Structure 1
Amino acid sequence: MTVIQQVSADRMKIIMFFPILLLVCSVSADQTETAVQQSNTQDIHAVLRELTTSLAVQNERITVLQRENQEQEAKLETQKTELQSQKTEIDQLKEQLQVKQVAFSASLLDHGNGHTGPFNTQITLIFKHVVTNIGNAYNPQTGIFTAPVRGVYHFDWSLYEHGNIAAGVVLFRNGENIFIVYEHQPTGGVTASNAASLLLEVGDQVSVRLWANSRVYDSENHHTTFSGHLIFTM
């Protein structure tokens, strides 16, 4: 075989081998790409699993924190209620300490003289001439004493009348008849008095009412009177 023939034969072999090489390279590239894709898919799945696990953990932590926050809010609300109750009690104690002394004394007419009554029904007597009103619990506009603190109070009331007519006054607590003072004689003047100690709650009202169909008299000498004072708190 000549050199030329040998070269030609070698060229034919190369030409025939090249497509085979390309085919092998193509198959190898496809396998590599498939392997890379499979690896990438596995990595993505692993990352997703990790994220899912992490999200579940975070959700659990959030749930725990929300529950703890609700418990703290409930505790704070309870403490707020307790503090408000304590503040109310303290304010009441302060009010009681501030109102240590309560006393008043008044007579029926502020000036001049004359009779009050008779009327066919009971009326509240308004004692207008105020001598003492410590604590301002007695109201000279209405004739009513209102207890500022819970405690025991002592009250005195007296009347004067002259002439042939009945004279009677009654001590009332919140509309309840407590004690009465009543006199009736044909001639001359009559005087009478009474007293009572009462346990009063805050806001209880005490007054003196003129008995129906009777009358009382007062003048600058202050015969008909109403007085009261706090003995002690409860």
Structure 2
Amino acid sequence: MEIMVFFSLLLLVCSVSTNQTEADNEIVEQQISNQQPCPQDIHAVLREMAVSLAEQKVRMAFLEKENQAQVAKLKTEIKQLKLQFKEQEAKLETEIDQLELQCKVKQVAFSASLLDQGGLFIGPFNTQITLIFKRVVTNIGNAYNPHTGIFTAPVRGVYHFEFHIFGHGGTPVGAYMFRNGDKIFIAYEHSTSGELSASNGASLLLEAGDQVSVRLLTGRRIYDNQAHHTTFSGHLIFTM
């Protein structure tokens, strides 16, 4: 009898244990099922990632384009700066050359008469001619050219010039002093007899390269001989 009771209790315990184990397994399976993601959630995540990736690509493309524009702008600015530097360098070199020339050329003076020897009437002509003063007495700085009769300013500055003309009555004497192509002053005299003379002078601001000369007026006549009546002179007063 006791043995039967023991077996009955043993069967009851095993049954309870088996039911408990099965219940625990169901709970674990339910938890695992709850932890596994739903396919719809995965698609949503993928869509968000795709949108984010597209936004990143658009931003990268914009930044790349902006960077290219900045590089192009920088290259243009560099070219402009190089060009400005070259222009300033050329200007500075010119100014340095002018200053060096001014330092070297501090004394300029010349005097010349119309004829080197003999006596001669010149004119009248039906057009103006540049008088060539051939007998050079002084030509410091070599600014006066005895072959052309033209004085060329070596530096920018103020120069003083004088010219004297001589002739005989019957035909007027007259001459203009020119700066480049502009008339400055005239010397003129007219008489039916006797000797004639006229003179004039001017102080001129000249740029380097400006030219000064004396031209015989149309229809006028002058004379010169070994006494050197007809002359042209000039000198630099100061540089500017």
TM-score by length of 2: 0.65
Q: How does 1:101-180 map to 2 (within 5 A)?
A: 101-180=107-186
How far residue 72 of structure 1 moved from its aligned partner, in angstroms, is 6.9
**Number of residue-to-residue matches in the alignment:** 180
Alignment-derived partner of residue 40 in structure 1: none
| CA RMSD of superposed structures (Å) | 2.7
Amino acid in structure 1 at the alignment position of 2:182 = E
* Runs of 4+ displaced beyond 3 Å: 69-84
Alignment-derived partner of residue 205 in structure 1: 211
Q: Write the distance in 2 (CA, Å) between the matches of 1:75 and 1:211.
A: 54
Alignment-derived partner of residue 189 in structure 1: 195
Alignment-derived partner of residue 11 in structure 1: none
Q: Deviations over 1:73-99 (max 9, x none)?
A: 765665454333322211111011111
Which of 71, 77, 95 is the matching residue for 1:89?
Answer: 95
How far residue 140 of structure 1 moved from its aligned partner, in angstroms, is 0.8
- Say which SS state the counterpart of residue 133 (structure 1) adopts: strand
Q: Write the distance in 1 (CA, Å) between the matches of 2:91 and 2:107.
A: 26
Alignment-derived partner of residue 50 in structure 1: none
How far residue 189 of structure 1 moved from its aligned partner, in angstroms, is 0.8
TM-score by length of 1: 0.67
- Say which SS state the counterpart of residue 237 (structure 2) adopts: strand
Gaps of 5+ in 2: 1-59
Q: Write the distance in 2 (CA, Å) between the matches of 1:173 and 1:148.
A: 14
Q: Deviations over 1:140-175 (max 9, x none)?
A: 111111111111111000011123211111111112
Amino acid in structure 1 at the alignment position of 2:159 = Y
Percent identical? 63
Alignment-derived partner of residue 225 in structure 1: 231
C-alpha contact 2:98 2:155 (8 A) present in aligned 1: no
Q: Write the distance in 2 (CA, Å) between the matches of 1:79 and 1:177.
A: 41
How far residue 211 of structure 1 moved from its aligned partner, in angstroms, is 1.1
